[in-house]
Structure 1
Amino acid sequence: MNCWKSIYLNREFGTHRLTIFSMLLTLLYFIAFYLVFSLLYPTTKHAIVPILPFLGSLAVLFPIHKIIHWLPLTLAGLKATMKFEKGTMIPMMRCETCSPISRNLFLIAALSPAVIITVAAIVASVYMPTYVSFFSILAAINLGFSFSDFLYASQVLRAPKHAYVEDRSEGFHILIKRAS
């Protein structure tokens, strides 16, 4: 296989710029989510979530996000592993595959946490509108986590339909089969 493109987000955009864009996406999504539900349910009394359950929910949000990345790969029968890396302030989780995966499977795995957790937050907000602020914060933070996933997905969408994606610790390689 030939490498069609290598994607290194930290080199291309820089860690600080990625963090700023992620936070901006989080803020904009929170405003949009909360505004829409405030318009749909204008007379709702908002409940205050105690700080410990709120912080606990935030603490498990990132591992759940990574597990949802891992789940489609495992259900497809691939050997995918979860690795823990020691970060600067907090330990980081990383989902890795041993072999290149198809473009479509990569897109499903990359976008599934954003879709699943956002849909779950919307459904929970519809059924429990008093906790809309809590669910909107969780969904917004999850979308902030998904910002780099969106960038990877946008790059992979431009790849040929029968491409494969190889996961590396520093980024991704989009591979295509050699012409015979």
Structure 2
Amino acid sequence: MNCWKTVNVSREFGLNRIYMISFLLGLLSFVFLYLPLSMIHQSSNQQEYGLLPLLLGLLLLPALHKLMHIVPLILANKRLKIKWKIKMGLLPIFSYRSKSRLSKKTSVLSLLAPTMLITLPGLVTSFVYPDYFAYILLFSCVNIGMSFTDYLYAYHVIKAPRRCIIENANDEFDILIS
């Protein structure tokens, strides 16, 4: 197997630039999605539960996002090494590493799983439930911002040759061809 390309987005773009673009992508998606949904739901009453449930949900969203990356790999019966720890006595932090090499389809599915399993249902739910659309839309847009690096990695994997194999290293992907 020969290494066709090693992809490390944080080394290519820099962490500060990635964080800034992720923040702007999440903010712009909220602005552009909130306006049409507020026009559609203009006659509904907004339910308010306060700041604490909102902050708790936003703090647990990164763990849920990471778990959504893991779900397709578990369903595909891939061997994984999953580590988790509790940070600040409240927040679960997950990291995973595949012990086996992944196909191109499995890699793309794993990278886009948070978008398919959190963002898209969240957008549909914010349309269906007008009383809670602002909260659900906020969670969906934060997930869009968090998915920015996933989109960059998926772009590189999609551009790879058809019969390639993806090997997960520390913070990078090696795209291998035979």
Q: TM-score, normalised by structure 1?
A: 0.90
Listed one character per residue, the Cα deviations across residues 42-83 of structure 1 (whole Å, up to 9, x for unaligned) are 222222232221122112211111111001001101112322
1:106 paired residue number: 107
2:64 paired residue number: 64
2:20 paired residue number: 20
1:97 paired residue number: 98
How many residues align structurally? 175
Give 1:92 deviation, angstroms.
4.7
2:135 paired residue number: 134
Give yes or no for contact 1:30–1:137 (8 Å, CA) kept in 2. yes
| Higher mean C-alpha deviation, range 21-30 or range 127-136 | 127-136
> d(CA) in 1 for partners of 2:83 and 2:21?
26
Q: TM-score, normalised by structure 2?
A: 0.91
Secondary structure at the aligned position of 2:97 is classed as strand
1:79 aligns with 2:79: yes
Give 1:12 deviation, angstroms.
0.5
> d(CA) in 1 for partners of 2:73 and 2:103?
10
> d(CA) in 2 for partners of 1:100 and 1:138?
32
> d(CA) in 2 for partners of 1:96 and 1:13?
23
Listed one character per residue, the Cα deviations across residues 18-63 of structure 1 (whole Å, up to 9, x for unaligned) are 0000001100111122112112222222222322211221122111
CA RMSD of aligned residues (A): 1.9
Counting aligned pairs with the same residue, the percent is 34
Flag structure 1 segments of 5+ consecutive residues without an equivalent: none
The 5 A counterparts of 1:138-157 are 138-157=139-158
Give yes or no for contact 2:60–2:92 (8 Å, CA) kept in 1. no
> d(CA) in 2 for partners of 1:106 and 1:147?
16
Secondary structure at the aligned position of 1:95 is classed as strand
Tell me which stretches of 4 or more aligned residues in structure 1 moved more than 6 Å: none
Listed one character per residue, the Cα deviations across residues 86-123 of structure 1 (whole Å, up to 9, x for unaligned) are 99xx8853221012100110000000101211122123
2:45 paired residue number: 45
1:125 aligns with 2:126: yes
Secondary structure at the aligned position of 1:49 is classed as coil
